[in-house]
Amino acid sequence: MKFTFKIFIFVFFVSFVVNSFDANAQRPMHEIHSMLIFNFIKYIEWPDDSKSGDFIIAVYGDDDVYDQLSKLYGQRQVKGQNAEIVNISDVAELKTAHIIYLAADKSRDFETILEKYDTKPTLIITDKSGLGKKGSSINFREVGGKLKFEINQATFTNSNLKVSSQLVNMGITI
């Protein structure tokens, strides 16, 4: 029963990602990004030494994504840790994070973030064409009017993060 339920949830998530994110849809993009960011967590394993303290999700450059994540997930447990959603206005403010979401309009700071977190167990999620190939772990991208996401498996290896083959199969591998 439990296994069947997990399969149902997985199939629902896959079909939701692949078929439902029409770029012209009525749901605001910040809501979609927030839901996906939180769902990605289920398919990624962080190393043991990052499983203490709060689970930090940093948002850089998108107040709407920050507000949505805070509202929906700020008081929840994530992988056995309390979720802490932080809104940063400068890369220098960021000391540590399990996840960094970098909005498209702040992509000029991508190289700085990558240099600082390239080999740390930090999932870097971006929203600008080309950043997946440059080293983002997951990059949102529009394909045929639908929101998709790219997965850069090499960055997971460099960051000592384990990504589920289920998530890899849902994304565009680069």
| pLDDT tens-digit map of 53-83 | 999 999 999 999 999 999 989 889 999 999 9
Average pLDDT estimate for 150-164: 96
Query: What is this structure's pTM?
Result: 0.85
What is the Cα–Cα distance from 99 to 159, expressed in whole angstroms? Answer: 11
Question: Does 156 have pLDDT greater than 70?
Answer: yes
Question: Does 9 have pLDDT greater than 90?
Answer: no
Top-tier CATH class for 2-173: alpha beta
- Taking only the tens place, the pLDDT of each residue in 31-42 is 999 999 999 999
Q: Which sequence spans correspond to the domains of the chain?
A: 2-173
Res 35: pLDDT: 95
Res 23: pLDDT: 47
Name which residue leads in pLDDT, 151 or 13. Answer: 151
Res 84: pLDDT: 96
Average pLDDT estimate for 81-103: 94
Which residues are CB-neighbours of 55 under 8 A, at least 6 positions away? Answer: 78, 79, 81, 82, 83, 84, 98
Kindly write down the DSSP assignment for every residue of 92-113, as one continuous string: GG----SEEEE-GGGGGGHHHH
